Amino acid sequence: MGEVVFTDRELDIMAVLWEHGPSTVASVRDRISIDLAYTTVLTILRTLEEKGHIGHEAEGRAYRYHSLVERGEARVSAVDRITRKLFAGSTETLLSHLVSDQDLSDEELQRMRALLNARLGDDDEGEEGA
């Protein structure tokens, strides 16, 4: 269970692969927000591949890169990390921060509550006694 950690730039690129699926260098480059040289994108992709986070297959003369890491895994790692380091290990404190300091609209907050209600209601209707 090796903590999946990405650098800033790596994360930019992983985000593209997760969002748009397997992509060539050129299409990754087109889709990231910041402007990088073609070779720079390629280098980061090669680094990611070296680390085992992504793979590729030939497509014509180009490569198409695909993620080997579930986005969910990266999410758990990242959330764990900031929970530990910034919220003293408390997910509740994190949520409290989300609802009070993160500048959300009432509608968003209501949808969040709906999510929680659904989760608590659906999952285990009877055993909320403990």
- List interacting residues with a copy of itself (CB under 8 A): 11-12, 15, 19, 71-72, 74-76, 78-79, 82, 85-88, 91-92, 94-102, 104, 106-113, 115-117, 119-120, 123-124, 127-128, 130
> Counting contacts by CB under 7 A, is residue 38 touching DNA?
yes
- Which of DNA, a copy of itself, none interacts with 60 (beta carbon under 5 to 8 A by kind)? DNA
Question: Tokens in use for 3?
Answer: 């903590």
> Counting contacts by CB under 7 A, is residue 36 touching DNA?
yes
Determine contact, residues 41/32, Cβ cutoff 8 Å.
yes
Site string for DNA, 56-95 (x = CB under 7 A): ----xxxx--------------------------------
CB of 130 to a copy of itself, least distance (A): 7
CB of 90 to a copy of itself, least distance (A): 9
Which CB sits closer to a copy of itself, 20 or 66? Answer: 20
Which CB sits closer to DNA, 31 or 112? Answer: 31
Determine contact, residues 99/112, Cβ cutoff 8 Å.
yes
| Burial classification of residue 54, based on how many CB atoms lie within 10 Å of its CB (0-12 exposed, 13-18 middle, 19 or more buried) | buried
DSSP string covering 91-128: HHHHHHHHHHHS---HHHHHHHHHHHHHHHHHH-SS--
Distance, first Cα to last Cα, the chain: 31
Determine contact, residues 69/53, Cβ cutoff 8 Å.
yes
CB of 3 to DNA, least distance (A): 12
106 φ, ψ to 5°? -60, -40
